[in-house]
Every structure is written in C-alpha cells, then in structure tokens.
Chain A
Amino acid sequence: MFILKRQDVEISSVQHPKRDQQIPILNYQGQTFRLINVFSAAQADEAKAYWRDLTDNRGKACVLLEEPDRYSVWGKVRLDQLANDEAGTTEAKPALYTQACLLLLQAVYIDIEDLLGNRQASAFEKDLAGALAQWSFPQAGSAKAIKDMLTLDPLDGLPIQPWQEHHLINFLQELHRLGKDYFGNDSFTARAIEVLDDLSDGDRVEFTAWINKSPLGQLWNAG
C-alpha cells in the first residue's frame, strides 16, 4: 500500500496541452502523478479500495495521498504524454453542477456578510482564493475571477464551464471547511441548501442525488 503524506510530496499545476485547463500534478521522488479521484476523510476505506482496484485489477501505477481532511488517488503520468493520457480522468459533469456549486458558495458568502459582517466576508474571500489556488481551479486564478464567482448570478445565462467531478467535490469540501471555520459549527448548511430551490426541479433533484451519493452527503445534508 502506497500511502503518502502531504509533506512527502509537492503539488504543482500544469497547463493541459489540449484543453484550457490547469491540472494538479503531484511530484514524488522525481515521478509525476495526476489527480484521478478525491475522497473525504471519512471514506478512508473507499479510497483504499479504489486505489487497490486501479493497481491490482487495472495495473496502473497509483499513489494514495492522505491529508487531514481528504484522501486523493493519483495516477502516474509523464508530463510529455499528458496530451494523450485521458485514461483515469474523471468525467466532466454537466454545467448545472457548476451552477449549483456556485449558488451554494454565494449563499454561504451572503450568509457570512449578513450575519458576521463585512470584515469577515472579505476575509472569507481571501481564504477562498487560497483554497481554490491550492487545487488549481478552472476560472479561479485571479482576484477578479474570485469576485465574479461570488457576485455574478450563475443562472443568468453566462457561459459556465463544466467542472470535473473531483473539482466539484473539492470545491464543496473546501466551502464546507471554510463555512465551519467562520461560523464555528455547521448551522450554515441548512440555510445554504435552500438556495438550490432556485434551480429547476429536475436539476435540483439530479444535483442533490449526486451530492448525497458523493463523499459530501453527510457534510451538506442536502436531504
């Protein structure tokens, strides 16, 4: 079993040669790995099973990274072959998932501004930028991009980039962690989840079904 700790590795990001996207790359002893999947801290067993399936049954060279609040599985890749390495990447989810995540983000942000005041809200903005930079998020590279994320209505028909599943999961995990930091408890999730009523019924049902199946089910309690 190849479990690495955060201090053993370096995580950077590279530009995908074909797609307009930054990809997180893990460096370990001169070898490079790309992110395949993410699990929450409570899903240690699932993460190990997934890793085992990849290595034993599919013969991939993978490592499992253990961090305090998540497990992630990374597959070996050579940077010069990144363009033709499509295997093992997670599927991009439809844009509605991105929209729903942005709605949740804005609900938490407005909640912080409303209840905890402006100073906490601007501190949250900085923390969010830091959290997203760490995972090299699409469309979150600049202060303006973060501002847009927090203020533009995701249902206004603006072009929304579909995110990959691991992005969605990371995003909601980081958002929950930050919310809990600021509020001191998770009373905010119930208030935030209400915002999903703004989606069409079909979209809402699809998104909540996904969230409840994902590692985030117990975090967000989407009901």
Chain B
Amino acid sequence: MSSSAEKSSTAKSPLTAQTIVLAGVTWAVAALLFFLLFGATPPGESPPTWYLLGTYIFGFVANLSAAILCLRNWRSPQIVSGRNVWLGIGLGLFLYVIGDILFFLWEFVWEQDPVVSPGDFFYLLNYLCLSWGMMLAVTSRRLNLELKQWIAIAAIGIVGMALAVWLSLPPSMSGLASTSQTPTAPTPAATTPAPAPAASRAPDWVVKLEEDLAPLDKPVTLIYTVFDVALLIAATTLLLAFWGGRFSQSWRMIAAAAFCLYIADMWFKYAATRVPDYQSGGILEVFWVFSPLLFGIGAALEYDISTRTPTRRAGRRRS
C-alpha cells in the first residue's frame, strides 16, 4: 500500500523515473499476488466482498496514478511525443476511473449484474481518447517504415481482429461449447444469485436503465476489442519506426499496456459468453491493473527522456 501513496504524489514532487517504475512494478506484483491468492473461488460461489473491493482498489489506484503521470507530460512543452498525445492518453485513463466508479456502484452498492452499464459509456469514451492520442502520435511524424515492418504490423492487426471476431461468435459456432451450459444461451445474469428486482437494493431507474441497455451487449464488447487492436497497431507502429532510439523505450511500455488491455478484454469477452455464471474478479482481470501501470511507466520514461539533455556536440563531448 505504501507504493500507492508514493505514486499518487507525483503531481507535487518531482519523482525520478526510477522511483515511478519501481512503484509501478511493486503495485503490479502486489496485484498479481492478490488476484492469484484470493481470486480462485470454487465454481458456483461468489468471491468474498472484500476480495472484489480489493480488485477495484488495485485498478483505481493504478488508473488514477497513470492518468496523473500522463497529464504531467501534457503540461511539459518539451515532451517528445507531443503534448496532445499525452492529453489523449491521460484523459482516457481518467474516464476509465469514472467508468470504474460507476461499475463499482452498479455491482457493489446496488448489487446488479448488468451486461451493459453506464460505466461502459465511459469505457468507450476512454477508448476514443486513447485512440485519438495514439493515432496523433503515429500520424504526426514521419515513420520511414520498411515493407517487412508494415507486414509485421498488418499481421498483428489481422491476428488480433480474427481472434476477437472468433470469440464473439456464439460458442456453438466456434466449437468451444462449454460443457456446463446449453450451447445456445450465453449466460447473462440468468443464473446469478442476484435478488429479484422487487427486492433489489437498486433504485428503480437503475433497473430500468439496465433493461434498456441490455441489447447493446454484443456490439459493445466487440467495439472494445476492435479498439484494443487499433491501439496495439498504433503502439507497435511507433515501436518499429523508432527502434533503437530512446524514444521507443516509452512506446515499448505503451505497446505492452495496449496488449494487456487486449488480453483482459478478450478474457472478459470469453468469460461472459462461455464461463457459466461468471463473476467479476477472475484472475486474468489483473491485466486491467497491469495496463494502466504500463501506461504510467511509459509516461514517466518519456518525461525523463524529454527533459534530460543528451551529449550534444558531434565533434567534442561537452565538459
């Protein structure tokens, strides 16, 4: 827990990149241990409340710290990627925090298990901001890529998309029918031990909203994965274009962050349609914590790179 206190104070104290990386790694390891040790619940049982609360806290702290670090880059005129790139990423992470809070209210406070909640609206906005920032980073500079690099990028895109589309097919079609359910019905909240709406703790408007949003389930999850692949492509493009330069250090982290997001979203998609009676807090959801941490580490590295002056003179070293 000490690392979170350190990390969220970045806005005030000029922390070194090393401290931030260390704090991020610590938080990631702690999250991983927490998910591994307490996340495995026997089938049919819900994980304990304190565990779910813990998963929210891990994600919340990670996203908020990363958002602050990204917005710190946005404030710096020297930043190499360009200020708007970091504004996009930072705003995206902030929106994610808001989405998380809403999701928390729905799942925790009102004990609903919606397929689509208003939190999703903020997640979508988060993706729009992230994509805007990353596309800006790609389109604003000359890339000079070779053909084989373009092919590698295209391959990543095609494989990523194919996997996402395959997962969005009904289980019966993709040949992955789960043993414990009829192959036709993906389980939404049907079998959850959620109380009937009459006895529900949620206000009426929440229940109503949930019913209105339910049909959006399929498109929403597909949109997430499409965005994930787009982010992955953007980050990989930059990584390949500037391979060997220090600028690629931060984009390596951002590419990894996009990849984590992809893994977590794909897992969620898979679990929601194929794992009977899936509850939040599955082990692979730890990638939703890794992703913002990597964004934050990437932001800190780039801040460091942009503000440190390398040796300048070709002919002679500066004394």
A: residues with CB less than 8 A from B are 103, 106-107, 109-120, 123, 150-156, 181-185, 187, 190-191, 194-195, 198
Place the interface of chain B in its size category.
Answer: 20 to 34
Q: Which of B246-279 contact A (CB under 8 A)?
A: 246-248
CB closest residue in chain A, given B139: A184
A207 to B313, CA, bound (A): 18
B314 near A120 with CB under 8 A, answer no
A185 to B84, CA, bound (A): 10
Which 10 residue pairs across A and B have the least CB separation, nearest first?
A153-B315, A184-B141, A184-B140, A117-B245, A117-B244, A185-B82, A115-B247, A116-B245, A106-B314, A123-B144
Does chain A have a CB within 8 A of B42?
A: no
B141 in complex: contacting residue of A150, A181, A198, CB < 8 Å:
A181
A153 to B313, CA, bound (A): 7
A115 to B67, CA, bound (A): 24
B247 contacts across to A, CB distance below 8 A: 115-117
Q: Which of B132-162 contact A (CB under 8 A)?
A: 137, 140-142, 144
CB closest residue in chain A, given B314: A106
Counting chain A CB atoms within 10 Å of each CB, which of B142, B241, B243, B316 scores highest?
B142
Interface SS, B side: loop
B: residues with CB less than 8 A from A are 77-83, 137, 140-142, 144, 241-248, 305-306, 309-316, 318
CB closest residue in chain A, given B247: A115
CB closest residue in chain A, given B248: A117
A183 to B83, CA, bound (A): 12
A185 near B140 with CB under 8 A, answer yes
A184 in complex: contacting residue of B78, B137, B248, B309, CB < 8 Å:
B137
B310 near A198 with CB under 8 A, answer no
B315 contacts across to A, CB distance below 8 A: 106, 151-156
A150 contacts across to B, CB distance below 8 A: 314
Closest beta carbon of chain B to A177's beta carbon, Å: 11
B140 near A115 with CB under 8 A, answer no
CB closest residue in chain B, given A198: B313
B314 contacts across to A, CB distance below 8 A: 106, 109-110, 150-153
Closest beta carbon of chain A to B226's beta carbon, Å: 25
Would you list 25 pairs from A and B whose C-beta atoms are within 8 A, ordered by A residue? A107-B313, A109-B314, A110-B310, A110-B312, A114-B245, A118-B244, A120-B144, A120-B242, A123-B144, A151-B314, A155-B315, A181-B141, A182-B142, A183-B82, A184-B141, A185-B140, A187-B78, A187-B79, A187-B80, A190-B77, A191-B78, A194-B309, A194-B312, A195-B312, A198-B312
CB closest residue in chain B, given A103: B313
B83 contacts across to A, CB distance below 8 A: 185
A120 to B315, CA, bound (A): 20
A119 in complex: contacting residue of B243, B246, B312, B316, CB < 8 Å:
B243
A113 to B312, CA, bound (A): 11
With A152-B315, A183-B141 as contacts: A114 and B310 at CB distance below 8 Å? yes
A191 contacts across to B, CB distance below 8 A: 78, 309
B313 contacts across to A, CB distance below 8 A: 103, 106-107, 110, 153, 195, 198
B78 contacts across to A, CB distance below 8 A: 187, 190-191
Closest beta carbon of chain B to A42's beta carbon, Å: 20
A116 to B250, CA, bound (A): 12
A10 to B141, CA, bound (A): 30
CB closest residue in chain B, given A221: B77
A113 in complex: contacting residue of B245, B309, B316, CB < 8 Å:
B245
A115 to B312, CA, bound (A): 12
CB closest residue in chain B, given A185: B82
A120 contacts across to B, CB distance below 8 A: 142, 144, 241-242, 245
CB closest residue in chain B, given A152: B315
With A150-B314, A153-B315 as contacts: A184 and B244 at CB distance below 8 Å? no
A135 to B195, CA, bound (A): 78
A113 to B247, CA, bound (A): 10
CB closest residue in chain A, given B318: A198
A195 to B310, CA, bound (A): 11
A119 near B80 with CB under 8 A, answer no
A111 near B310 with CB under 8 A, answer yes
CB closest residue in chain B, given A123: B144
With A116-B247, A118-B244 as contacts: A187 and B77 at CB distance below 8 Å? yes
B248 contacts across to A, CB distance below 8 A: 117
A155 to B313, CA, bound (A): 10
B80 contacts across to A, CB distance below 8 A: 115, 183, 187
Closest beta carbon of chain A to B254's beta carbon, Å: 15
A119 contacts across to B, CB distance below 8 A: 144, 243-244
Closest beta carbon of chain B to A111's beta carbon, Å: 7
A117 near B243 with CB under 8 A, answer yes
A118 contacts across to B, CB distance below 8 A: 244-245
